Amino acid sequence: MALSGPLMAYIDRGNTEKLELIQNGEIVPAHAITRAVFRFGGYCLDTAIHGSELIELINDAQVLRMRLGLVPNLVPGTYKRGTLTLFDELTPVYGKAWVRADVRAELWPVCNA
């Protein structure tokens, strides 16, 4: 799986990044992925811990959805070489190294009411 650009994290905003889970040119079988862990900078998101608030497997566990802007204490900047590890029945403990991705965290100014 290759990414064309960095994943965006708009700090304190609920925007989502969705990654379709492709292996050998095909989408992974439904419900094959049991857990996902995404680490970037000093942050670590885990579907087993954070649930649907920050990171979750959706669409029969064939798509990973992340709300990176909601990560607590996220500071603006570019985080190089984040890592996505996926787990399935064959690799329930160690998981599979899946993809590296940069993350760009930015402030998104809004008007105060």
User: How would you classify the pairing of strands 96-106 and 7-10?
Assistant: parallel
Specify the pLDDT at position 112. 81
Kindly state whether residue 67 falls inside one of the protein's structural domains: yes
Using a cut of 0.85, tell me whether the model's pTM lies above it.
yes
Q: Are 52 and 3 in contact (CB under 8 A)?
A: no
Kindly state whether residue 96 falls inside one of the protein's structural domains: yes
Specify the pLDDT at position 33. 97
Kindly state whether residue 15 falls inside one of the protein's structural domains: yes
**Sheet of strand 63-66, all strands in order from the earlier edge strand to the far edge:** 17-20, 63-66, 55-58
Which residues in the chain belong to E strands, given as ranges?
7-10, 17-20, 22-23, 26-27, 33-40, 43-46, 55-58, 63-66, 77-88, 96-106
Question: Residues 2-9: what's their mean pLDDT?
Answer: 82
Kindly state whether residue 112 falls inside one of the protein's structural domains: no
Kindly state whether residue 60 falls inside one of the protein's structural domains: yes
Each residue's pLDDT tens digit, 14-39: 999 999 999 999 999 999 999 999 99
As given in the structure block, the two tokens for residue 70 are 């909601």
Each residue's pLDDT tens digit, 45-98: 999 997 788 999 999 999 999 999 999 999 999 999 999 999 999 999 999 999
Kindly state whether residue 70 falls inside one of the protein's structural domains: yes
Kindly state whether residue 113 falls inside one of the protein's structural domains: no
Residue 101 has pLDDT above 90, yes or no: yes
| Residue 50 φ then ψ, to 5° | -90, -15
Note down the domain range covering 45.
7-106
**What is the total count of domains within the chain?**
1
Specify the pLDDT at position 2. 55
CATH number of the domain that residue 48 is part of: 2.60.40
Kindly state whether residue 1 falls inside one of the protein's structural domains: no
Contacts of 91 (CB under 8 A, 6+ apart): none
Residue 1 has pLDDT above 70, yes or no: no
Q: Are 2 and 20 in contact (CB under 8 A)?
A: no
